[in-house]
Structure 1
Amino acid sequence: MITTGDAAPDFTLIRDGGTEVTLSASWPLVLFFYPGDSTPTCTTEAQAFSATVAAFHAKGVKVMGVSRDTLAKHDRFVAKSGLTVPLLVDEDGSVCNAYGVWAEKTTFGKTYMGIVRTTFLIGRDGRILHRWEVARIKGHVDEVLAAVEAMG
């Protein structure tokens, strides 16, 4: 599991719209992993990051989301939900595995593999400054922004 102080695993993925993004070219960065496009909680989270992205950018920090959905699903999700943060395509799950967010989950007694909603703040040096496993979306983006502001 990747945690505070660890080097962020580097990767290159396709984002919504079809262009490539390389993690190491994007530091500092808020990287949030979410289970799936167009679900109520994931939509709320992505819209909350989109609504505050200017505040992150003002601090020199980019914001990107990652799920295992396809490029086509990301493009529809961005258009339908009015998102302004890039969504990265990790269809094979290699980045989810590298960050330790692909794990066994249980919902209503059913056990399955899925993305554990997790947010990472990656510093200018490519190290993890903060790691949040997100149980509640309400207040989460504000907490991440406060950590960014504390970076200086």
Structure 2
Amino acid sequence: MTDPTTTPAAGEPFPEFSLPDAHGQMHTLSSLRGRYVVLYAYPKDDTPGCTKEACDFRDNALLRSHGAAILGLSADDAASHADFAEKFSLPFPLLVDDSASYLKTIGAYGEKNSYGKVTQGIKRQTFLIDPDGRLVKAWLAVKVDGHADAVAEAIDKDRARRD
């Protein structure tokens, strides 16, 4: 990976992070070795698309059966994350990147075009990381409907490839 603000290619090590959740507990990618990790970047707590995406990850039985670690990531603060997680009974951590520095590192923050309006912000993206810390697949323009199922299917395919 030559540019430090670009999504790594499939098979490359995913950049390490050390970020707090809504309760101040620190999370690192290296502490999740041995499990699939679903790291999803989303624009804003408690907005329609972000709520649907979080609830779809929460409710996906196949992801649970795989034992995947699901982590939400946005620039919202800890209080906003805590309210959002409580309101929708989200059982996974929402990581705080208030400076958006890690979001920039993985290419999930930058120029967005919404209905012809160009802005800077968080891009709705998902990264599937394998038990060895390498990127399996990146979804760089997520459409929420059916997305959690697609992530679960990608874990199935990667597991079959490893067997």
For structure 1, list consecutive stretches of 5 or more residues without a partner in the other structure.
none
Q: Please state how far the C-alpha of 1:58 moved relative to its aligned partner.
A: 2.5
- The answer to whether the 8 A contact 1:46-1:85 is kept is no
Which residue is equivalent to 1:141? 148
Distance 1:60 1:84 in 2: 13
Distance 1:108 1:144 in 2: 27
After TM superposition, the structure 1 = structure 2 runs for residues 1-150 of structure 1, keeping only pairs within 5 Å, are 1-2=6-7, 3-27=9-33, 28-52=36-60, 55-150=62-157
- The answer to whether the 8 A contact 1:36-1:69 is kept is yes
Q: Please state how far the C-alpha of 1:55 moved relative to its aligned partner.
A: 3.0
Of 132-141 and 42-51, more deviation after overlay is shown by 132-141
State the SS of the aligned residue for 1:97.
helix
What TM-score comes out, normalization by structure 2 length?
0.86
- The answer to whether the 8 A contact 1:16-1:75 is kept is yes
Distance 2:86 2:142 in 1: 26
Distance 1:51 1:130 in 2: 21
Distance 1:143 1:109 in 2: 28
> Deviation string for 1:103-134 (max 9, x for gaps)?
11122443211111110110111110000123
Q: Please state how far the C-alpha of 1:4 moved relative to its aligned partner.
A: 1.4
Q: Please state how far the C-alpha of 1:57 moved relative to its aligned partner.
A: 3.7
Q: Please state how far the C-alpha of 1:87 moved relative to its aligned partner.
A: 0.5
* Deviant stretches of 4+, over 4 Å: none
For structure 2, list consecutive stretches of 5 or more residues without a partner in the other structure.
1-5
Distance 1:121 1:31 in 2: 7
What TM-score comes out, normalization by structure 1 length?
0.92
Number of residues paired by the alignment?
Answer: 151
Distance 1:108 1:138 in 2: 19
- The answer to whether the 8 A contact 2:126-2:142 is kept is no
Distance 1:137 1:114 in 2: 18
> What is the root-mean-square deviation of aligned Cα atoms in Å?
1.4
Q: Please state how far the C-alpha of 1:151 moved relative to its aligned partner.
A: 2.5
Q: Percent identity?
A: 38
